[in-house]
Every structure is written in structure tokens, then in C-alpha cells.
Structure 1
Amino acid sequence: MTPADPATPQADTHWDPRRYRTFGDERSRPLVDLLGRVPVERVNDVVDLGCGPGTDTPVIRERWPGAMVHGVDSSHEMIEAARRGADPHTEYRQVDVRQWLAETQSTGLGERPQVIVSNAMFQWVDGHRELLPEIADLVAPGGAFAFQVPGNFDAPSHVLLREIASRPEYARHITEKLRDTVIGAEEYLGDLSRPGWSVDAWETTYMHVLQGENPVYEWISSTGARPVLHALPAAEQQKFIAEYQAALREAYPVAEFGTVLPFRRIFVVATRSAGA
């Protein structure tokens, strides 16, 4: 949920926490699976990069009940929503991940966190792979840096989004780049494999069963389709939505039990040795 590199056109950081929570269980499930692979038990501090509206905090708290959770997100709306539900062992800060990294490297975090985690944020950050080793280096010896990102940019939901958005009547309004790069677990494994580190990387495809008339659109309209929807004037936006929904209904047909949305995700846990 962090905007792109400041060298690129400013990304849209306006998020709707209510819509994002619509599929809260499905969005939190990968984090549960991710944290289950983090081999760190004694944790005082966890940094949650791209914390959103705070929906991941209970998941982190369940894994490490006594930890202080430090949430970071670029969206004002998301941070305000997170703060409304905050407990005394959480703090939330609105800041871009690059700015957070630069400030942290300059001033330090005080006591290093045992865990830095990110649940579906780095896909929003241009050039994020170059940041990963630097972020990992902030964890304490014996700690871990764990993240997951979507790997479904070649799925029909995203292919159709790009195809329809490229039509002249829509493309002239869209200035933000639509991300279409699929990065595999193997590349991340190489990015973070260094002396003093062990890296666990894997991929999982979830079969989410969604309910409703346009469930795939409802899912992606609060995340991947945001740059397009927010860029379009009202008349073009309504036309785009109608065309996109029709294409999604054809690509993801309704079964008796609901609409199946296959969703590939990529997971990485980089663990720092106690002596590193």
C-alpha cells in the first residue's frame, strides 16, 4: 500500500478501508500461512510494512501475543482506520516505505525489531527488490524479514484490466503505470540469500470461493484496479466498470457454490543467524 518510487509519477494513495475489509478473511489467510513459517518465537517488536487498516494486527498478535506492533502505511485513510481500533501495544505511522527506510537507516529503530513483516505491499513499490536486503538488515540477529506478494498479474483479472484500460477512450486519462510484472519465488530467494541468512521461499495458489453478482470485480476494484478507476472521469468510469464487469463474469463463471478466484501468492521468509 505504499506508493511508487518518488522518481515516477505520484501514485494514488487513497484507499477505502471499508471496501478493502470486504474480503478480510481471504486477504489475511496468506499472512497466517506466512507467519507460521517464521522460526522466531521470542519477539518484542514487530514492524508491519503496509499495515492497511490494522486488520493484520490481530493475526500478528495471535502469533506473538506480547509483541509491540509498529504499523507503517502510506495511506492516510488506512492509518486513520487502524488507529481507531488500536490497542496500547500498537502504533501506526503514515509514511512511504522508502522514506521509512531512509529515516530508519539514518536514525535507527532504537532496539532492533525481531521481525519485519509485509502482507501484500511490495507489489505497489517500483524497484522494490533493491530495497529488500536493506530492510532485512534492520532486523535483530536471530530475527526474520517475512513478506508475501501477489503473483497473479498474468491472471485474467489483470490481463482484462490492462486490455480494457488501454482502449483510447480510457488510456488518455491514465497516467499511472499498471503493474504487470510477475516475479517468482526463485528471484526473491536470490535477492536475499547472503552469508548469515537462510531463506525460505515458496508459492501457493489459493482457490477463493466468492459470493455475489460481481465478486471478482468487488475484489480487484479495492486493490489492483484502483489506479484506473480513480483516474477516469465519472462518465468514462461507469462505462469502464460495465465493460470490465462483463468481461470478468465471462472469465470467472458462477458455479452453484460461488465464483472461484484462483489467486497465486509468493512468500519469502529470510532469517538472520544469531551471529550475523
Structure 2
Amino acid sequence: MDWLQVVVLSIVQGLTEFLPISSSAHLILVPVLTPWNDQGLAFDVALHIGSLAAVVLYFRHELVRMTVSWVGSLRGGGQDDDARLAWWVLLATVPVCLIGFTFRDAIEVGMRSPILIGVSLIGFGLVLGYADWRRRRGGRSEYQLGLKDVLLIGLAQALALIPGTSRSGITITAALLLGMSREGAARFSFLLSIPVIALAGGLEIVGLIRESHEVDWVAVTVGALLSGISAYLCIHYFLAFIKRVGMQPFVVYRLLLGGWLLWLFW
């Protein structure tokens, strides 16, 4: 791998993991627009580790409180808001895990069409636009969710297994439609990303252990650092941006990108 490839892939992963614009669509475009070969599984693992480290670092204070309260609830100490939020994050992760593990091979083989990605970008982008327009002001925070809300957001997250949907995009859309504020929807979506990225990264690590290829540790380390830095900045500025502007700029971007993919591959 050359250094330009390392930098581009790391920043693309760090940004698109959390913006509602679909990382799969962008990772499809990189080899289309460049002569680069596949970066390899070790580099993919490093990028996921960087993104995971970024979101854990950003929400470190919340995660400490949630973990302490959650452990306390297991010991019979009752549930406060932090313990309940921890349980909600775990519960909302179950649907995507069950569906992902059950249909993983079918998804990887049969749903990587750029045309499908383009349609998903446009279709789910329009739904995101409607949800954001409908929820322009106010709404509940992530601490005010109920069981029904969590189950519906968890089921929506499973739709992100369709390439082009965007995990953050579909969970934010569902949360907005359920009456959450923009910031609350985004924060809950980011918390949901922690177990999902950890599980996906774990599967990749298992695959990496089975491989016997050499690993470029310098490129892997730099990739993880760049992915982590770009992801952290993305989370920080995204939360500030949507509070003032909303989701519509991302909706327009999804429509343009989806239209371009359809024009390119139809």
C-alpha cells in the first residue's frame, strides 16, 4: 500500500462510519476511482479499531457511568437512567447480531451491487429527510427512551445490513420518527455503534488469525490512528452541526451520490 491509499482509506472510514451517508457506498467508490488493489483484512481491522477507539474516547464519561450503573443493576441495586441506557444499547444490538450472523454470507455475496447501493442511498435518504423535517425542534433525549422505542430502533439498525443504507443514518431516522431530538438520536446512534463495531471487528480479527499473509504494521498503525482521529472529529462536529442545521445537507449528498452510482453502473 502506498501512503496516499493509507491516508484516503483511513479518513474515508473514520468519517463515513458515523455520518449518515453510508460507508459501504464510499468504500465501493474508492477502487472505482483509483488504481489501488484491495487493502487487505489487517488494514480493515485497524480502521475499525480506530473508529471504535474514537467513539469510546468521546463518550468515555457516559460509558463509565453506564457501566457502573449497569453492573449495580445486575447486583440488585435497581436501575437509574444510566443503567437503563446501558440495557437499551445492548437490547437494540440484538436484532442486527441475529440477522447479521444468520444471513452474513448471503449479504456479502448477493447484496454488494452498486445499483442496490445507489437505490438504498436515495430511498433511505428521502426517509431521513422526511424524519428530520418532521422533527425540526425539541424531542426526547437518549435517556427518555422506552422499550418499544429501543426495539424499533434495533430493528431499524438491522436494515443497515443492506449496503447503502448507513447504520447511523437508519438509526437516526428511526429515532427521529419516534420523537427524539436530533442530538439525542445521534448520540444514541453513536452509542449503538460501539457493540456493533466491536463485534464486526472481532469477526475480522478471527478471519485475520486464519490468514497467513504478512502484515504491514506501520501502515496498519498509521491507518488506525488516522481513522480514530477523523472519527473523533467527525462525532464532535457532527453533533454541533445537526443541532444548528439538521440532516438536510446529508440528504442532498445521499441523493447526489446515489444518482451518480446509478448513472455510473446502470
Q: TM tier, shorter chain?
A: under 0.3
Q: Structure 1 length normalisation: TM-score?
A: 0.26
Structure richer in helix, relative to its length? 2
| Greater RCO (Cα-Cα under 8 Å, separation 6 or more) | 2
Structure richer in strand, relative to its length? 1
Q: Structure 2 length normalisation: TM-score?
A: 0.27
